[in-house]
Amino acid sequence: MFCRIVSGEVPAEILHEDAEILAFRDINPQAPHHILVVPRKHMDSLLQVEEGDMHLLGRMHQVVAQLARQNGLVDEGFRVVVNTGPAGGQTVGHLHFHLLGGRDMRWPPG
């Protein structure tokens, strides 16, 4: 599904777009602010990240920070989650970061 969003085949509320990364609102939000940050390059999960992809992970973190600032999440705080594999809660086979904010997050999660 995320590859189809990245290619423009499926519409989404795009919040950030550049040559390497796309960010959009989750259609099933788990918090008032639930933004997905995905690389345009397809990788199933963190397990497919290679040494040459390290810059991409850094850029994804930069985009998360930028979106947190733009959405007023810095003062109260926010959570960044990367689910990996079925037992880790991953339901879409494309690497993505969840940016969650706008409510108190509990610990431990799950």
**pLDDT for the residue 24:** 95
User: Is residue 109's pLDDT more than 90?
Assistant: no
DSSP state of 89: T
Q: Sketch the domain layout of the chain as residue ranges.
A: 2-101
Please list the active-site residues: 96
15-67 pLDDT per residue, tens: 999 999 999 999 999 999 999 999 999 999 999 999 999 999 999 999 999 99
Q: In the CATH scheme, what is the code of domain 2-101?
A: 3.30.428.10
**pLDDT for the residue 1:** 73
Q: Please report, rounded to a whole number, the percentage of residues in the chain having pLDDT higher than 90.
A: 83
Please return the burial class of 34, using the count of CB atoms within 10 Å of its CB with bins 0-12, 13-18 and 19+. middle
At 110, is the pLDDT very low, low, confident or very high (cuts 50, 70, 90)?
low
